[in-house]
Structure 1
Amino acid sequence: MTAVGLAGCSTSSGDDGGADSKQLTVWVMGDSSENFDALIEPFEKESGVDVTTVAVPWDSVDQKFTTAVASGNGPDVLQIGLSKLRTYADSGALLTLDADTIADYPNLAADNFIDGIAGDATAIDGAVVSAPWVSDTRVLFYRSDILAEAGIDAPPATWDDLRADAKTLAGRGDGQYGYYIPQWDSALPVVMTWDQGGDIVDAEGLIDFDTPEFDDAVDLYTGLYADGSVPTNSDFDQTQGFISGITPMLVSGPYLGAAIAQTAPELDGKWAVTTIPAGSDDTSLLAGSNLGVWGSTKNRAGALQLLDFLAQPDVQLQWYELDGQLPTAKEALADDSLTSDPLVSVYSDQLAKSRLLPLVPNWDGETGKALLDALNSIVLTGANRDDALTGLFDATAGTPAN
């Protein structure tokens, strides 16, 4: 990896000086704080800014953010999952990253990032409140060795093929399954709906699950459970399930590939990825995370400088190497070190056929939760399908999707 340089190294900017001009606090989500600290060592050394990294568990993100908004005591920089962008923006806590604000930070220019990431994925109601950080999409992971042993010579190309193959694989014996459905993943049934040729947003821009295509997606989702092809325990570990072969197929993001390679190098050559199975379409999820600046930060220039540093192609390549997170910078994704990787080739192909979840207020806590509550009640507790779906339609009707 080549040495990383800093753009815009000065941390003085108008009234941004003072006692905190050499301090920054950054919230990163999940358990990536150690890797993040390693990534930003050059930034700290060259800028003289001392960065404190706080790892926030994904299941604590909402509570921690709400508390910070109420108290006014937030970090200087924070990672923002795309499903939370509208909620965060609506709070008024984020700095608007308009053209004047980022003028001295060239790596933050929208045209440096891949199509579909800048713009709709960084702005709410036309106001840019975040900068792209990592991109993400969903692809099909499969254990080629286990599929071959079961007489399946290629990964499933369609969702119908996947359901049939999963049932075959589940027939290997007790405690063996063919596929894994994360009970917490509200994006999967939406992707299934897209791939049936439908949408969950109507012509008026409102959430609408009451469509034939969503019904087809429900058939697929519930059918995998009815076939006995997926585990039902809520604490099932997808990484270990894939490594052990208990669940030799699943849809996930590039981070899973990094985890498999690091945890089970002995499986090299025994697993692969391919694009999402198709119905009438083969669209997947455009996901990932942005970075935002807390509006009342006492070190705005330092925060913007850090965002600019993290947007550098070489830095984004280092982050993929350290943490398995795909870049958002065009130049990084086009780098030979990535384009020569067959996994990244699949990720890139799928990114080109991916789309955002609707940026509704509090997707995770309201619309997405209602979706999962309905589906999980059907497959896990035997709830009446029609009643569960009617409850979903009623709970989400009229929700604006932008």
Structure 2
Amino acid sequence: MARPRRRLLLAASLATVCALTASACSATGGAGSAGDGKGTIEFWSMPYWVGQDDKVKALVDEFNASQGEVTVDLTQLEWKDGREKIKQAMAAGKGPDVWLMNNGLELDYLKAGSLAPLDELGYTQNDTGAFLDLAKVNEYEGKLYGAPLYFDVSVLVYRTDVLKQYGYDKPPATWEELKSTASAITKKSAADGDKVSGWQFKGMDDHVNAINSTWESFLCQAGGSLTSSDYTKSTQNSQAGRTAMEYMKSFYTDKISPVGTSALNGFIDGKVAMFSFFQSVIANVEAGGEKTKDKWAVAPMPEGPESGCSMVGGHSLVASAQSQDLKAAGTFMKWLASPERSAEYMDFKGIFPYDTAKVDLTVRETYEKKIQSDPNWEAIVEQLHRNSPDLLLQDRHGWATRWEAQKASVVAGVGGQVPVDEALTSIDEQVGKTLSTEQ
């Protein structure tokens, strides 16, 4: 399965835990030591290489064999509780030197001063200047704290064979086209006696956590925001929010999408014609073997009333401000999050986080070969350039509460269990309480 972008962390914020554990965190950061760059560091990671859980260990082994000054000890964690284990360890003063974190980073760590800024890890302006502008999702109070390994963006995944069977030679480009195409496929296939759902929202089905990235993409396309510009208010109960949720709900009230059908599994079986999710879901589609081989493609998201933006995800490396060898931690981070390695992550469709005009020629050539080897990259790159850091920077504030609230309220609102206004109000009320404690 493609990995969900976030999991609920511990109920208590890291800042609160740090206040109770004097040795765990620094209020301002910088309690670590630059070190001599020669020693052993601890790296804790979930298996971010989609589809191959052993690849992270292989990369660490490769780094260790490549030089003799820094040794990395890897602790492999599971996605179901890895983030929580890191947070607990950090609060107890026993956390790793370097670990994996979602792009956008987590506000608790940033506010507690638990992360070392990249400039203290040996990154120069030339190093950080080579990142895409989207790397600003890892900024906080003017400093960059996360080195992106790769980005994710939500895209449209569609069955070329199903669309062609029902008279469509290209994917829908707008909300109106998406709904009309999906409706026609659902109705015509039912009349033929072999019903195919034209569309399914991922998150209303096999993996409810996915409703967060799905919902936030459609909210963005309607011109909505998660918070006010100063991050102090939750702003989903807006005209844009109502437009987005009513649109999503209409797929169920008009019986285009069936409640309970898995978007991914249905797609692999040829029973769902289209769905949207992060481009890394391609690895799961390809795992369908003969069921999906040469029968699908990727397109940019259909544009909504205001834009064709989508949710941004992916992962970065961060380092502890309490590390006793920041130089060694930086050496490893610069290797694992380097342009050379990020070009390798394109093998599981991780989006290259660097400006190709600012990397070595050999890396640029590798990048170009990978882009040319798969026609789906054109759509993924187009979707990438439609996005800004704004949505993910908003999502950083109150995200644990938001992602739980949205899982309940968006599903209920879209599924018709509660009125749309009630669903949106519930999200704003719950998230608003969390935002008020962040001030």
**TM-score, normalising length: structure 1:** 0.83
Q: Determine if the alignment matches structure 1 residue 257 to structure 2 residue 289.
A: no
Counterpart CA distance in 1 for 2:130 and 2:176 is: 39
Q: Determine if the alignment matches structure 1 residue 274 to structure 2 residue 299.
A: yes
- Matching residue's letter, 1:344: W
Unaligned runs of 5+ in 1: 1-12
- Matching residue's letter, 1:243: I
1:139 deviates by 0.9
Q: Determine if the alignment matches structure 1 residue 350 to structure 2 residue 383.
A: yes
**Does the aligned pair in 1 maintain the 2:246–2:420 contact within 8 Å?**
no
Cα deviation 1:245-267 (Å, max 9, x = unaligned): 12221112221123323542663
1:193 deviates by 2.1
Distance 1:291 1:221, change over 3 A: same
- Matching residue's letter, 2:352: P
1:26 deviates by 2.8
1:287 deviates by 2.0
2:424 alignment partner in structure 1: 389
2:97 alignment partner in structure 1: 76
1:108 deviates by 7.6
Cα deviation 1:311-330 (Å, max 9, x = unaligned): 33222112222x33222122
**Does the aligned pair in 2 maintain the 1:135–1:288 contact within 8 Å?**
yes
Trace 1:80-99 onto structure 2 (pairs within 5 A): 80-98=101-119
- Aligned residue among 218, 230, 252 for 2:245: 218
Worse-superposed segment, 323-332 or 355-364: 355-364
1:113 deviates by 1.1
- Matching residue's letter, 1:288: G
1:135 alignment partner in structure 2: 151
- Aligned residue among 184, 192, 196 for 2:218: 192
- Aligned residue among 170, 175, 178 for 1:162: 178
1:381 deviates by 7.0
Cα deviation 1:163-202 (Å, max 9, x = unaligned): 2222333343477422232132313222212212333333
- Aligned residue among 285, 289, 310 for 2:311: 285
Counterpart CA distance in 2 for 1:232 and 1:193 is: 21
Distance 1:219 1:14, change over 3 A: closer
Q: Secondary structure at the match of 1:377?
A: helix
Cα deviation 1:122-143 (Å, max 9, x = unaligned): 1222232211211111110101
Counterpart CA distance in 2 for 1:387 and 1:359 is: 22
Counterpart CA distance in 2 for 1:107 and 1:253 is: 30
Q: Determine if the alignment matches structure 1 residue 144 to structure 2 residue 160.
A: yes
- Matching residue's letter, 1:159: W
Cα-Cα RMSD: 3.0
2:335 alignment partner in structure 1: 309
Percent identical pairs in the alignment equals 22
**Does the aligned pair in 2 maintain the 1:187–1:357 contact within 8 Å?**
no
1:366 alignment partner in structure 2: 401
Cα deviation 1:63-112 (Å, max 9, x = unaligned): 223312221211221111125432332343222222xx244x56982111
- Matching residue's letter, 1:353: R
2:16 alignment partner in structure 1: none
Q: Determine if the alignment matches structure 1 residue 45 to structure 2 residue 78.
A: no
Q: Secondary structure at the match of 1:357?
A: helix
Counterpart CA distance in 1 for 2:165 and 2:263 is: 21
Q: Secondary structure at the match of 2:35?
A: coil
Distance 1:56 1:265, change over 3 A: farther
- Aligned residue among 35, 48, 51 for 2:55: 35
Worse-superposed segment, 192-201 or 169-178: 169-178
2:75 alignment partner in structure 1: 54
2:19 alignment partner in structure 1: none
**Does the aligned pair in 2 maintain the 1:242–1:248 contact within 8 Å?**
yes
1:6 alignment partner in structure 2: none
- Matching residue's letter, 2:376: L
**Does the aligned pair in 1 maintain the 2:151–2:312 contact within 8 Å?**
yes
**Does the aligned pair in 2 maintain the 1:94–1:293 contact within 8 Å?**
yes
- Aligned residue among 272, 277, 296 for 2:322: 296
- Matching residue's letter, 1:163: K
2:134 alignment partner in structure 1: 116
**Does the aligned pair in 2 maintain the 1:139–1:276 contact within 8 Å?**
yes
Counterpart CA distance in 2 for 1:224 and 1:75 is: 46
**TM-score, normalising length: structure 2:** 0.77
1:377 deviates by 2.0
- Matching residue's letter, 1:51: V
- Matching residue's letter, 2:222: Q
Unaligned runs of 5+ in 2: 1-32, 357-362
